[in-house]
Amino acid sequence: MAARTDQVTDPAIAAALLLARRGQAYYSRKLNELSDADFDGPSLLSGWDRRHLIAHVGLNARAITRLVEWAHTGAETPMYASPAQRNEEIEFSATLPTQALRNLSDHAAIHLTVEWRDLPEQAWSNEVRTGQGRIVPVSETVWMRTREVWIHAVDLGNGGRFEDFPAELLDALLTDILGAWDRRREAEGLPRYLLEAVDRPVPTVNTIPDATAAREAIVVRGTAAALARWATGRGTDGVLSSDGEPAAAPRWL
């Protein structure tokens, strides 16, 4: 029997799926490097040990799968019944035996990639609602999962690095984060940032609309990996700003 392949033919979605699957492989490799005893250690996320983090990443795959099924069938299946239900599910799953947590991670990831694979070409533009209430085409779920697995592989705290990320992922992260800050700037009084990636031929990551605003922006410099680490709230190592030592970045999501 011939192997089943993705039904989507859009080259941008196909490339995005590849990056998401590479991220899942990277996350799974870092997870599999942990011993059972390591699961009880701290993650790099404040307030979460590795068990909570691993439970969250596995349950996130299940939640995104529900959105893909929604797009495929037309039957509304939200990511979560409520924020409280999401948190309760993470708390419960973090108490599972270690092998059950490993199985959750593997099985949920496989189910998601199968649902992506089997989603008909015409369904990729169907709209779904994220856990934050945004209405997006289901193709957005690929990026949602991509950032989840790559970044949380680092948060496992056993050697994952932003420096391991593909260049296209780092660039996409920086653009996405600046866009999120732009959307919340007025409501939250956020400063403007101009990011300068010193290891890029065109170093400036800039969503600022005019030269006047750009002159007032805080310039943050570093490698693309260091900028992504800072912008996602994972520390200030390797970055400098026009104000000296950079302050903690605003929240992203």
- Encode pLDDT of 237-248 as tens digits: 999 998 777 889
- Encode pLDDT of 116-155 as tens digits: 999 999 999 999 999 989 999 999 999 999 999 999 999 9
Q: Is the pLDDT of residue 210 over 80?
A: no
Query: Between 115 and 206, whose confidence is greater?
Result: 115
pLDDT, residue 235, reads 92
Specify the range with the lowest mean pLDDT, choosing from 63-72, 210-219, 244-253: 210-219
Q: Is the pLDDT of residue 2 over 60?
A: no
Residues 173-212 as b/e (b if ≥16 CB within 10 A, e otherwise) read bbebbbebbeeeeeeeeeebbbbbbeebeeeebbbbeeee
Contacts of 216 (CB under 8 A, 6+ apart): 192
- Encode pLDDT of 66-113 as tens digits: 999 999 999 999 999 899 999 999 999 999 999 999 999 999 999 999
pLDDT, residue 203, reads 61
Contacts of 130 (CB under 8 A, 6+ apart): 67, 79, 136, 140, 144
- Encode pLDDT of 17-74 as tens digits: 999 999 999 999 999 999 999 999 999 998 899 999 999 999 999 999 999 999 999 9
